[in-house]
Structure formats: C-alpha cells, structure tokens
Amino acid sequence: MAERQIISCRDSTDLSERAAEEFVRLARQAIQLAGRFTVALSGGSTPKALYTLLAAPGFAQRISWNRTHLFWGDERCVPPGDPASNYRLARESLLDHVPVPSANLHRIRGEDGPAAAAAAYERELRQAFATPDGLPRGAPGSRFDLVLLGMGDNGHTASLFPGMTAVHERGRWVVVQQVAAEPMWRVTLTPVVINTAGEVVFLVSGREKAATLGRVLDGPHQPDSLPAQVVAPRSGRLRWLVDAAAAADLRRR
C-alpha cells in the first residue's frame, strides 16, 4: 500500500475546511492531468458540512464543476427523495447550489431495487473508466481520483459492514448488502474499486468514534470486524482526516 497519513484537525469545522481544500487541490490536479475529476461521495452525516462548504462562494468558485463527475460510495435502496438517501443529502447540501451538469451526476438508482441498481451502477462505472470487464486498471482516467469515506462506530465504511462478504470481494466493483439492523438494502462499492483510487480520504469526527478509530488505526488487522481496515489503496494515497475528539484514543505519533 502507498502512504497512509493521519491528519489531526482541531474540530469538525477544521476537518471540513481541510477536506474542502483537499477536494479543490485534487480537482485542479485531475482536470489538469486528464480533463476531468471523478469523485465518489460519502453518505452519513459527517460530510454534510464539507458539502455545504464546497457549495459556498469561497470554494465553489475554485472548482470546475462542468468537469467534475460525482459518484457515490454507497446508497440505500430508497427513492432519491427519501430522508435516508445519500443522494438527497448531497443534493440538498451541494448539488442544488453548484453548476454541476446533470450528465455528470452518477447516482446509484436505489429505487430500482438492489440487484438492478448494483448492476446498472457497475455498468456506469465501467463505462466511465473505460474498463468493460475485469478489474479496474488503476491508472489516472480509469479510476476514481478521490473516494470520500466515513467510518461508523462499528468500523464499517461505505456499506461494508462487519461480517459481510463484500469486505473480501475480489471481482465485482459493486455489490448489494442487507444490514441486519436496518430494514433496507444497500448498494456499495467494493474494495476492488476503492483500492484503485488515486486518493482515499476518510472523514472521522466525534468522541463516539474514538475507541473504534484506535482499533482501526492502531490495533491488529481484522477487517472482518473492522471493514475500514480493508481500505488500502494499491498505488493511491490514504488520508485520515480526524478531529481531536475522534483521535482521543490514538497512540501518540
């Protein structure tokens, strides 16, 4: 795996600002190199502040939205207007406020049902990365420039949950998962795609994440229990943006 960097942020505001600067930097770099910026957005509540910041004048004007392609790391199998929809989270905090062309929005169509949504999304990814079959090639232009991820307090990331087979998927780019504690199915990127990204950035905030973050970053490798540990970009860079509250149990570095 390429380098792993842990960036300690003062608080959630500082974390979102640093994530926004990283987003701008990677967008400029990708567009300069390949003419477009491909990013997989995370769901959950942590990134909402980042998306709101990216939509604000201080950042929105620094991003070429017409060359930015937005995907999702995972989605719940609900309609796009459902309160549980990751697409709705991004639409309300970001997409409704920036001029990203609709053709550049590659949402997971959770309303079509898990199998159909996963198959359609994998087709869309393969077309976007010009890789009709086999594994992602992992070269600029045929991989995500950036994958944004969160981490649950049980160590899940995207919709890769403890004990799920998707954590060990070696061929498919997108799979469906049914999470025991929830009534809904989910569609998720697998490590096959995530680990070919140019850069993966975790956003972890809050004291309730501290114990799990300590196990994920300082404990033994056990991805079945801590799926976030399966994220190890083959040649890309892995960055953990963590605020002081979430970093409370990390060993001193």
Least distance CB 74 / ligand 6PG (angstroms): 5
- How many of the other CB atoms lie within 10 Å of CB of 11? 11
| Nearest distance in Å: CB 198, ligand 6PG | 20
Please say which residue, 90 or 131, places its beta carbon nearer to ligand 6PG. 90
Q: Which two tokens stand for residue 131?
A: 């890789």
Nearer to ligand 6PG, 131 or 164 (CB): 164
Q: In the bound complex, what is the minimum distance in angstroms from residue 84's beta carbon to ligand 6PG?
A: 8
Q: Is the dihedral of CA 56, 20, 242, 161 positive or negative?
A: positive
Contacts with ligand 6PG, residue ranges (CB under 6 A): 42-46, 73-74, 86, 150-152, 156-158
Query: Which tokens hold the place of 235?
Result: 């040649």
CB of 111 to ligand 6PG, least distance (A): 16
Question: Toward ligand 6PG, which CB reaches closer, 74 or 131?
Answer: 74
| Least distance from ligand 6PG to the Cβ atom of residue 101, Å | 24
Identify which of residues 86 and 93 has a Cβ nearer to ligand 6PG in the complex: 86
Nearest residue to the partner ligand 6PG, using Cβ: 150
**Nearer of residues 63 and 231 to ligand 6PG, judged by Cβ:** 231
Do residues 204 and 238 touch, judged by C-beta distance below 8 A? Answer: no
CA–CA gap between residue 4 and residue 187 (Å, rounded): 27
Q: Which residue number, 73 or 223, has a Cβ lying nearer to ligand 6PG? A: 73
Those residues with Cβ within 8 angstroms of residue 39's Cβ, 6 or more apart along the chain or in another chain: 23, 26, 27, 68, 69, 70, 71, 144, 145, 146, 147, 148
Which uninterrupted H or E stretch holds 144? Answer: none
138-112-163 Cα angle (round to 5): 60
Q: Write down the least CB distance from residue 1 to ligand 6PG, Å.
A: 21
Residues 6+ apart with CB under 8 A from 106: 69, 70, 71, 72, 121, 124, 125, 128
**Helix 47-54, helix 12-34: angle, nearest 10:** 60
Q: Nearer to ligand 6PG by C-beta: 115 or 184?
A: 184
Q: How far is the CB of 20 from ligand 6PG (least distance, A)?
A: 16
